[in-house]
Each structure stands twice: as structure tokens, then as C-alpha cells.
Structure 1
Amino acid sequence: MAVDNGGARVVAARAPIDRIGVAVLRELVETIVSGTIPQGGGFPPEAVLAQEFGVSRTVIRESMKRLQEKGMVTVAQGRGTHVNPMSSWNLLDPLVLAALIGHDDDLGILDDLSVVRGALESVMAGAVATSADEQVVARLRASLDAMRAVIDDSAAFREADVKFHQTVMELSDNLLAENVARVLFERALESTRYHGVDPERAFELTMQEHERVVDAIAAGDRQAARQAMEEHILGSWERRRFPTQKRS
């Protein structure tokens, strides 16, 4: 928090949270996301939680502050700590998003993530198309070449695939969209559910779709670049998505 100190701005240091505290915080986030303590429900008193986790009340108190910062709980003096509606949570927080994906049995969160990611990356691809010069196009084609060179190595291909998307994001010069899209992408990549099951010729299809994105950017066609990127992200997810019951 910034405070005024005789005209000088001083940033007050926030209390550190050690490894034990991080582990407690992660478990508390899981408790909320899993519904063990439902939205609107209350947590046990600090003393009870401290005994349950085998930590001090200070660790519990600090963890609750972190949950409050994430929008997950409200701490009210004399009334205890209650879980907020999911609409109040910071869904881009790494711990919260990772827990949501981990409990995403119907893949609804990953469906939503793919839609948002597709929208953001399509805007960024369109932005690149409006200002792309020979150097930008050459960089993107080099990224395609890097993917093509390792198409028979699944791990290397996936890494090159991620780098292609990161390159488009970087070239867009839209720092806010890039930051949000990276958070979504990185948390999703940690989940085996997001990787799903690759269909036949998955990498060849990915190459073709990436080539359409680059061709549109090279042509300076903003709308085509946006469409190609969004169709690629949504289509790729749909192809590899585990066959679960989709939300209506």
C-alpha cells in the first residue's frame, strides 16, 4: 500500500508468507473451489483451522487475508469468514484458476477459457496484421519453420507451438491482452485435461491453421487474421477435447 511520508511515496511491505503458508493457502483455495465449504458457507474459527493444519493462528490469519485479496472470502469481525459467490473471485489469479481447472469435471471452465483465449489472441493477430512489415512476417515464418522441423517430435512440436502463439502476442504490442492470454494459456497447459487426446494428423492440421494466420498477417488482412486465429484456437480445442457432457 502506498502512503504519503512528507511528500514522498512509500510502499508498505506486505507480510511475507512462507512455504508452509503457501501450502495452507493452496489447500484453502482447493477447499473453496471443490465446494467442501460452499459459496455462502463459513470457515471454522482460526483456532480450529490452526489445529487442523498444524500451524499457528498467524499463518491462518495471513492465509485468510490472501483469500480475501483474491475475492474468495469476506472476513467480518465477530461474524467469522464466509465464502463469497464465485462472481467475486479473481479468476485470473494463478492459484484460483489452477484449482478451477483441476476440478473442471465437465470441462466447462476450459471451454470458457478457450473462448476467451480465442477472442484475445484473435484481436492480437489482427493488430499484428495492421502493422506487419517484412521483418515481422519473416519472424513468424521462422516460427512456422521451427514447428515444421520438429513435427515428428510431439514434445518439441508442442513447445514450438506455444512459442508461435507467444510470438504473435508479443508482436501485437497489446500488453494487457498479452498478459491475460498468457495467464490463461499457462494455467491451461498445466492440465492434462487441456491437452486432451490428439486426433489423427493433429500436428498437420495445426500447421495448416498457423499458416493461414501468418498468410493473413502477411497480406495485411486484419479480419482474416482474426478469424484464422480464433478458428484455430477453438477448432484445436474441440478436436482434442475429452468426450464429456457439455454444458448447455
Structure 2
Amino acid sequence: MQDLVTAIVTGEVQPGDALPTEALLSQQFGVSRTVIRESVKRVEEKGLVTVVQGRGTTVNPPSTWNVIDPVVLSALVDHDDDLGVLDDLTVVRASLEASMARAAAERRTEQRQQELRDAYDRMIATIDDVDAYNEADLDFHFVVMEQSGNRLAASITQILFQRARGSSRFTGTPDAEALHLTLDEHRAVLEAIEQGDPDAADRAMHDHITIAWERRRPARAPREP
């Protein structure tokens, strides 16, 4: 199933093309036709193909793909040669998290503020340990998401973010200066939420996500015009 998804996502099989027959796929992968049939069914559920009885299986255009499906998203990120997918992911993530930061500022309570402050303090405490700092950074974002009360936005964002973190091109190799810059950006988010300023919280979170990606984005992969 993953191989079929990859073949479609990378353009090895183009939209409108027909997949090989079950018999040929069975021979190619060395599995039974039952396994092939189940795999194709799962690929169809992800929106990548359409199966018509008696007419075969046709590859769908990208507009029908479920791009937040973990397998599809993984294939897109893994083969994102020009970083266009990670650029788009950053735009979507910045928009969603900014809206959640806004909601968190509107819904603030003393208990929620303490949770967010605790998450930020863990970032300060781990600033000299990249791995621990990144985990504390993740916790900070998750606290904001929880405080927003928007479970759908939080779920979508977590899917995008968790998969992107598996890409070394997304995470980069931040140095001490970069970590301190991100700490400053998180403080701006924290203070805006603590002050109950939705506009400032929205702006601070959006700026953090977009600017942090600009710092990490490999220069060797320019954006497409």
C-alpha cells in the first residue's frame, strides 16, 4: 500500500493512468491477489485512486487526495524535493495555530495560564539541551492548542506537525542563537495570552511559526516562482 501511494505521489503513475491489473501487481510484489485487492482498497480510501468494477483502477488528480492521511502526508514530505509541501504545511500550521492562540487569549483562566507558564519555564530550563528543548517547545504548543478549545484545529495541526518533525529538512540543526530566538518568540505568545490580547497572540504565534521556518529552511532549495 505504501509503495502504491509513493508511486502516485511522486508522479511515477500520473493522474488518469490506470494501475496494472491485480495479476500483474501480485506478481510484482510477490503477494496474493487478495493482499493486492485490500491494498488498492486502502489507497482508494485515501482518495488517490478510483476503482470501477470491470474497468480497472484509475489514478485520481491531487485535488482528491486526503493529504492529511499519515501515509499520504509522509510520502509527500519524504519526496518534497523543492520543499513546496513543507512551505505549504507551514502556511497552514501558522494560520491554524494563530487562530488557536487567539482563542487561548480569549479563554484564559488562572489554571490555564499556569499550565502555559510551566511549559514555557521548561523551555528555559532545557535551553542547553536541543532534544529536551524541542520536547518542551512541543508541549508549549500543545498547551496553547488545548486552551483554545478547538479540537478539530488542534488535531489537524498535530498531524501536520508530528509528521513534519520526522523530516530533517523541517527540523534543521538549530544552534544556540536559534534556540534563544525561538524562546523570545514563545515569550511573546505567552505574554499576549496572559494579557488577554487576542490580536497580539494571533500575530505573535503566526510570526513565530513563519519566521522560525525561514530560519531553518535550507537555502539550497529555492521556492518555485
Q: Per the shorter chain, which TM-score range?
A: over 0.9
Aligned to 2:9: 33
Q: Measure the CA separation in 2 of the matches of 1:162 and 1:100.
A: 22
Contact 2:165 2:171 in 1 (8 A): yes
The SS at the match of 2:218 is coil
Q: Measure the CA separation in 2 of the matches of 1:175 and 1:150.
A: 28
Q: 2:190 aligns with which of 214, 221, 228?
A: 214
Q: 1:119 aligns with which of 95, 105, 114?
A: 95
Aligned to 2:224: 247
**Structure with max Cα Rg:** 1
Q: Measure the CA separation in 1 of the matches of 2:176 and 2:135.
A: 19
Return the letter of the residue paired with 1:28. Answer: L
Contact 1:72 1:89 in 2 (8 A): yes
The SS at the match of 1:143 is helix
Residue 75 of structure 1 pairs with residue 61 of structure 2: no
Q: Measure the CA separation in 2 of the matches of 1:219 and 1:121.
A: 18
Contact 2:48 2:59 in 1 (8 A): yes
Q: Measure the CA separation in 1 of the matches of 2:207 and 2:24.
A: 51
User: After superposition, where does 1:29-178 map in structure 2 within 5 Å?
Assistant: 29-178=5-154
Question: TM-score scaled by structure 1?
Answer: 0.88
Q: Measure the CA separation in 2 of the matches of 1:122 and 1:79.
A: 46
Aligned length: 224
Q: Measure the CA separation in 1 of the matches of 2:109 and 2:163.
A: 32
- 1:138 deviates by 1.4
- 1:34 deviates by 1.3
The SS at the match of 1:51 is helix
Deviation >3 Å, runs of 4+:
none
Q: Measure the CA separation in 1 of the matches of 2:6 and 2:49.
A: 13
Residue 194 of structure 1 pairs with residue 194 of structure 2: no
Residue 234 of structure 1 pairs with residue 215 of structure 2: no
Q: Percent identical across equivalent pairs?
A: 52
- 1:82 deviates by 1.1
Stretches of structure 2 that go unaligned for 5 or more consecutive residues are none
Contact 1:98 1:187 in 2 (8 A): yes
Aligned to 2:155: 179
Stretches of structure 1 that go unaligned for 5 or more consecutive residues are 1-24
Question: TM-score scaled by structure 2?
Answer: 0.97
Partner deviation per Cα, 1:6-51 (whole Å, 9 max, x = no partner) = xxxxxxxxxxxxxxxxxxx111111111111112211110000001
Return the letter of the residue paired with 1:215. Answer: E
Contact 2:105 2:194 in 1 (8 A): yes
Name which of structure 1's ranges 197-206 and 35-44 shifts more when overlaid on structure 2.
197-206
The SS at the match of 2:2 is helix
- 1:228 deviates by 0.2
Partner deviation per Cα, 1:184-237 (whole Å, 9 max, x = no partner) = 001101111111243660110111000000100011000100000000000000
